[in-house]
Structure 1
């Protein structure tokens, strides 16, 4: 979106090569639009989308939470002013030493998609909350990233059950319907799978609290 401020910047600064110019007012407006559209949700900004300190500082000041994929991204979010309780470690494949470092920094929310990842977190980040990524078919997306990570719903039940047994807080599920998703029913299918995981575990007394 080329705002007048961006056009003025390009006209006066005349960058010598390709560059990305972001108007922070647009970032602010987009965040407020999400808040209005999803009033009962917590918004997590994926640091990998654009880790520019100016963007992270703005969003942290506005109360945004942050999804990170590495210890470096955790530290970027914290340097921008985000407290540890507003940061999740959303990468499902993590080195145990990175889990331990994130735990040392105060991170208590981690993504998983297999029992081995749960076991690493139980050792390196005891008592933390975990959410399990569930596979989706990615149909209708220009970039169907859904099969990059995740597990089928039945396996997600076992993963979260195992987390509970190891003293972790089985907190919820996540899914990714793919980037530039054009089929609105993709969310219906994914939420239906999430509902199955919630319902199955509820029968065992494990009450999930989050859908990402």
Structure 2
């Protein structure tokens, strides 16, 4: 944890729960990822953390943005992004949404259906999202998005016939731990490009790059090498002669920049229910911790000021919903002297927390966000 974050968290009087983000960490992760993928245009996935200070920083660093709604388009433009740096990556849009985004200056869109393709205006870039294997990810997308390869070829040809500039994209799932998933997906996408007659298409390899929450993950360079291997294989097979790369990092840029500070509301023994202590926090699934559903994302924890011998716990949120239990199966241990009123910090919590927090379920307000570091 950086000095700036530690200094901010040293104030124990601030009301919880809240998220604090360090912009210097965001800038560092952007620099590292840009170095690993020097040939790629980076498009930050706004949904991961739409905090305006983060968007302003990334716009100043030169990244583009992956947006999913009119509100995200407005956020990026207000942060200083140029309309041409935006890609409307959500293929599920309301009637008129494409025209409105086009009027705002957006010229790159993602599609995965003939129904959506019909809405696009000649001259725009349209990336056909192709269905790929997303095994190895914490949260797969399979089924909701993506055209099967044969359908993707038909969509690419139809896009070209309508005067659009066709390319391809895919998503191998969020928190993807297998570099080879990208290699395989690149081959699938570029094989479809070749069949559609595209010699050098734009290829957006999506997001999904993993963060080391409680276990090591492959370095960004390993994923970059896998992407390059996929392109080399496609060239050797005669599918294409190359590709113009785009990458949509979200979690990889902001997760490690954030700490979610909570307070233990109650620490209880549950005789006849569980041998472990139950720790109820003032932030749960509805206050920003939606990614604990299925216990897919396991945040590192710390309890400042407590250092006694640790014992097993179940972690739960504050609401009256029975599904607001964060970790029942994932092993967690917290100090035995933990008491109600103690702070519990969730680390690497900068991604998909504030953006997932409800607007008032059970009367709990949205998650406040604080920012430290170089603006």
Q: Same fold (TM over 0.5)?
A: yes
Which residue of 133, 140, 152 maps to 1:137? Answer: 133
Q: Offset of 1:208 from its aligned partner?
A: 4.7
d(CA) in 1 for partners of 2:200 and 2:67?
22
Contact residue 111 and residue 128 of structure 2 kept, 8 A: yes
d(CA) in 2 for partners of 1:34 and 1:46?
14
RCO higher in 1 or 2 (8 Å CA, sep ≥ 6)?
Answer: 2
d(CA) in 1 for partners of 2:30 and 2:183?
24
Q: Please give the residue correspondences for 1:16-95 in structure 2 after superposition, counting only pairs within 5 Å.
A: 16-95=15-94
1:125-150 CA-partner distances (Å, limit 9, x unpaired): 33211001111222111211243211
Q: Which has the higher strand share?
A: 2
Q: Work out whether 1:177 is the aligned partner of 2:172.
A: yes
Contact residue 154 and residue 197 of structure 1 kept, 8 A: yes
Provide closer, same or farther for how the CA distance between residues 168 and 84 of structure 1 changes in structure 2, counting only shifts above 3 A: same
Contact residue 45 and residue 66 of structure 2 kept, 8 A: yes
Aligned to 1:150: 146
Q: Offset of 1:13 from its aligned partner?
A: 6.3
Give TM-score scaled by structure 1 length.
0.91
Contact residue 85 and residue 108 of structure 1 kept, 8 A: yes
Q: Offset of 1:184 from its aligned partner?
A: 2.0
- Cα RMSD between the aligned structures? 1.4
Give TM-score scaled by structure 2 length.
0.53
Q: Work out whether 1:164 is the aligned partner of 2:163.
A: no
d(CA) in 2 for partners of 1:105 and 1:181?
33
Contact residue 136 and residue 147 of structure 1 kept, 8 A: no
Q: What is the DSSP-based 3-state SS (H/G/I as helix, E as strand, rest coil) of the residue aligned with 1:135?
A: coil
More deviation in 56-65 or 129-138? 129-138
Q: What is the DSSP-based 3-state SS (H/G/I as helix, E as strand, rest coil) of the residue aligned with 2:119?
A: helix
Displacement over 3 Å in runs of 4+: none
- Where structure 2 has 5 or more consecutive residues not aligned to the other structure, the ranges are 205-375
1:11-59 CA-partner distances (Å, limit 9, x unpaired): 1264311111110000001111111111111000001111111000000
Q: What is the DSSP-based 3-state SS (H/G/I as helix, E as strand, rest coil) of the residue aligned with 2:118?
A: helix
Q: What is the DSSP-based 3-state SS (H/G/I as helix, E as strand, rest coil) of the residue aligned with 1:45?
A: strand
Provide closer, same or farther for how the CA distance between residues 103 and 179 of structure 1 changes in structure 2, counting only shifts above 3 A: same
The total of aligned residue pairs comes to 204
d(CA) in 2 for partners of 1:92 and 1:178?
16
Q: Offset of 1:77 from its aligned partner?
A: 0.6
Greater gyration radius: 2
Contact residue 154 and residue 196 of structure 2 kept, 8 A: no
Q: What is the DSSP-based 3-state SS (H/G/I as helix, E as strand, rest coil) of the residue aligned with 1:180?
A: coil
d(CA) in 2 for partners of 1:208 and 1:100?
27
1:142-179 CA-partner distances (Å, limit 9, x unpaired): 21124321111111110111111122111x11111111
Provide closer, same or farther for how the CA distance between residues 15 and 135 of structure 1 changes in structure 2, counting only shifts above 3 A: farther
d(CA) in 2 for partners of 1:109 and 1:72?
17
Q: Work out whether 1:193 is the aligned partner of 2:193.
A: no
d(CA) in 2 for partners of 1:14 and 1:33?
35
